[in-house]
């Protein structure tokens, strides 16, 4: 059945249940002009927004199912909230859809949205659905809370800090290539691309352990590290051989000849965290959260990002590590 | 110059200034993963979201300029916040744009956004800009505040209430026709279509004067009145000859033969308010805010909306007043 056959109200009826997963803070949910919710005394609010466009961010049937699109549209927002050190609480969303879209596909999209919201106890407060002649455009605006003055910005990196990242980098970009080439296997890479994990619990620990700066890695390590360097007016020196990569990424690169470092530095959508933190705090944090790796240090100098690769040192520009200007160590 | 020539960061640099109009509540504005803001003790938060799609909601050069699109994308959200009785405070926005869009057009879009935000002291906290192969899609998510338990819902209408609306209805829909036919004159109608006024001050007065139910008229009187009737489980009986229409709307209808009541009941985007309120409170409110008109009453009976037209009474269905089932009085 097509969307036009059930109409907007039929559609709202089909998706309005099962939207509040932490209802105690919601005064008015879906169904009025606006939703009303309560905030917690002593907390500041965090707001983020992110859009995904069909055939630009995803290709249905190739890189994602409708379920995956809903899941990931929320995940990317929760990742931005994690990257401030905050806890996500609510979201509103808007979809521009073709009138010819199948109702069951839209239901599937919402199932993906609801499943990740249930996991992280995020309330769906409402939305807007409009018709578009073209493919689907989905925008999610998410809110979260953080203790007053505790949000971790990009601008706080200090000379002497350790630079660290969570888990492995590059899997999502490689997963996209696996999907686009319809290659068999490499389940971990595909899964990382389709179901990124917002690093909320690590973000909270980074607040507790006094991290100085923090970004989520949505556009590749090169871009995110440069954002921290620029905002903090410091230089980041990364050790190439310390950057954590998965066995599957190495296997994929070996099989296809694709450059592993292009995935790591330029591949998007890993949604891991990059942060800078004092040496003692890093050691304490690693005892409670071992899946973090020191990849470099914050040093003095003109702001920028450099990578140490054996005896060579390159500058890494935001657009990618291969646009480097070579320098002798 | 095209957007592709300045890139995302060039674009952010071009629009990031002049975004905070009530900065005292903003901790972190544009430029990090998320924005951080403070809420007011004792207040609840209101969240709304609304999307406009090029060639569906607006046609550049015919119904709107880029400036107008930015202005109206915010206005429709502020109207939703007004329709809860709340004060808008912040917004985040997302635009999906063609890489071929002219930079000056995008700057113009943002000028419209900033001008209405300045008027209503609403902070622009951040946004997302993505590329789309098709026309522009703009989504605004706005937040506001209201005193605890004071938000006015659709569901509070009581038998015995007066039904009232603000200003005049139907101008926006007629303005759209004036623009589409490139007809000379009718400045008021065109202006109402392009620069709707969110009824924030009236919304605040409706809280103070204890209105029982409230909607903004974004989809025509028929749809909005039915939403109140359905949510409140009451019947609304409207007096057709009391519904306020402008002289320009009457003149346009007289000149073109277009049905004035189709504009009033089905014409969208007036963004006036419809509310129900006790008789004494209505009289008190009218002394401080005269531009409201009683158009009917809340009566007992199966939920629905009826209109008294001379000796006849019709039911008005949500989709429009002309789909009525005739009934003898």
Tell me whether B127 touches chain A (CB under 8 Å): yes
Interface test with B, best of A36, A206, A228 (most B CBs within 10 A): A36
pLDDT band at A329 (very low <50, low <70, confident <90, very high): very low
For residue B127, what is the nearest residue in chain A, using CA coordinates?
A: A49
pLDDT band at B320 (very low <50, low <70, confident <90, very high): low
pLDDT reported for residue B150: 97
pLDDT band at B299 (very low <50, low <70, confident <90, very high): very high
- Give the β-pairing of A304-309 and A312-316: antiparallel
**Predicted confidence (pLDDT) at residue A322 exceeds the cutoff of 50:** no
Interface test with A, best of B13, B33, B85 (most A CBs within 10 A): B33
This prediction's pTM:
0.93
pLDDT tens readout for residues A175-220: 999 999 999 999 999 999 999 999 999 999 999 999 999 999 999 9
Q: Please give the structure tokens belonging to residue B262.
A: 């189709």
* Contact criterion met (CB below 8 Å) for B188 and B246: yes
pLDDT reported for residue A13: 79
Going by the annotation, the residues of the binding site of B are: 33, 50, 57, 80, 110, 127-128, 154, 216, 218-219, 269, 321
Where along chain A do the CATH 3.30.1330.10 domains lie?
3-147
Residues in chain A with CB shorter than 8 Å from the CB of B9 are 318
CA proximity to A85, closest of A220, A227, A202? A202
Whole-number Å distance between alpha carbons of B62 and B119 = 26
Place of tokens 């389709």: A194
| ipTM reported for the complex, 2 dp | 0.91
* Contact criterion met (CB below 8 Å) for A106 and A9: no
User: Cβ B51–A84 below 8 Å, yes or no?
Assistant: no
CA proximity to A17, closest of A30, A4, A6? A30
Of 3.40.50.720, 3.40.50.800, 3.30.70.2190, 3.30.1330.10, the CATH number of B3-147 is 3.30.1330.10
Where along chain B do the CATH 3.90.650.10 domains lie?
161-316
pLDDT tens readout for residues B172-223: 999 999 999 999 999 999 999 999 999 999 999 999 999 999 999 999 999 9
Nearest by CB to B51, from A47, A81, A130: name it: A130
Question: What totals of helices (H) and strands (E) does chain A contain, helices first?
Answer: 10, 14
Residues in chain B with CB shorter than 8 Å from the CB of A131 are 53, 56
Q: What is the CATH number of domain A161-316?
A: 3.90.650.10
pLDDT reported for residue B309: 95
pLDDT reported for residue B152: 98
Whole-number Å distance between alpha carbons of B47 and B88 = 9
CA proximity to A322, closest of A253, A251, A240, A242? A240
Say which DSSP state A86 is in: P
pLDDT band at A15 (very low <50, low <70, confident <90, very high): confident
CA proximity to B213, closest of B163, B161, B272, B152? B152
Whole-number Å distance between alpha carbons of A53 and A58 = 7
User: Cβ B51–A94 below 8 Å, yes or no?
Assistant: yes
**A33 assigned to a ligand binding site:** yes
**Angle at the Cα of A272 from the Cα atoms of A269 and A275, rounded to 5 degrees:** 130
Q: Which of A54-58, A69-73, B283-287 has the lowest mean pLDDT?
A: A54-58
pLDDT reported for residue B323: 34
Q: Please give the structure tokens belonging to residue A259.
A: 């450059």
Nearest by CB to B48, from A33, A47, A51: name it: A33
Residues in chain B with CB shorter than 8 Å from the CB of A318 are 9
Tell me whether A138 touches chain B (CB under 8 Å): no
Provide the shortest C-alpha distance from residue A329 to chain B (in Å).
Answer: 30
* Contact criterion met (CB below 8 Å) for B136 and B105: no
Q: At what angle do helices A3-15 and A103-119 cross, to 10 degrees?
A: 20
Q: Please give the structure tokens belonging to residue A202.
A: 């690590």
For residue B146, what is the nearest residue in chain A, using CA coordinates?
A: A36
Specify the DSSP element, H or E, that contains B118. helix B103-119
Whole-number Å distance between alpha carbons of A12 and A10 = 6
CA proximity to A271, closest of A188, A209, A215? A215
Q: Look at the alpha carbons of A222, A227, A232, A233 in this order and tell me if their dihedral is positive or negative.
A: positive
Nearest by CB to A92, from B28, B36, B49: name it: B49
* Contact criterion met (CB below 8 Å) for A18 and A125: no
Q: Which of residues 30-69 of B touch A (CB under 8 A)?
A: 31-39, 41, 44-53, 55-57
Nearest by CB to A51, from B31, B126, B128: name it: B128
Provide the shortest C-alpha distance from residue A324 to chain B (in Å).
Answer: 19
Say which DSSP state A118 is in: H
């Amino acid at each position: 059945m097509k969307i036009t056959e059930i109409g907007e109200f039929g559609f709202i009826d089909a998706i309005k249940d099962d939207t509040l997963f932490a209802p105690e803070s919601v005064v008015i949910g879906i169904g009025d002009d606006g939703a009303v919710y309560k905030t917690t005394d002593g907390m500041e609010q965090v707001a983020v927004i992110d859009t995904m466009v069909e055939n630009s961010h995803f290709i249905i049937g190739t890189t994602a199912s409708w379920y995956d699109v809903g899941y990931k549209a929320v995940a990317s927002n929760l990742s931005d909230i994690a990257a401030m050190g905050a806890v996500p609480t609510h979201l509103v969303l808007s979809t521009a859809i073709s009138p010819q879209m199948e109702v069951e596909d839209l239901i599937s999209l919402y199932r993906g949205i609801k499943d990740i919201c249930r996991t992280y106890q995020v309330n769906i407060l409402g939305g807007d659905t409009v018709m578009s002649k073209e493919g689907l455009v989905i925008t999610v605006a998410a809110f979260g809370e953080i203790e007053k003055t505790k949000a971790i910005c990009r601008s706080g990196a200090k000379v002497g800090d350790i630079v660290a990242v969570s888990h492995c980098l590059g899997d999502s970009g490689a997963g996209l290539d696996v999907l686009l080439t319809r290659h068999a296997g490499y389940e971990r890479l595909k899964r990382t691309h389709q179901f990124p994990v917002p690093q909320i619990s690590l973000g909270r620990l980074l607040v507790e352990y006094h991290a100085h700066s923090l970004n989520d890695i949505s556009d590749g390590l090169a871009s995110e590290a440069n954002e921290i360097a620029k905002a903090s007016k410091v230089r980041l020196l990364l050790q190439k051989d310390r950057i954590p990569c998965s066995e599957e990424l190495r296997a994929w690169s070996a099989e296809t000849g694709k450059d592993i470092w292009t995935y790591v530095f330029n591949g998007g959508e890993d949604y891991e965290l990059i942060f800078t933190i004092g040496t003692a705090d890093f050691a304490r944090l690693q005892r409670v959260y071992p899946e973090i790796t020191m990849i470099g240090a914050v040093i003095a100098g003109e702001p920028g990002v450099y990578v140490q690769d054996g005896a060579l040192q390159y500058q890494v520009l935001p657009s990618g590590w291969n646009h480097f200007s070579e320098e002798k160590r």
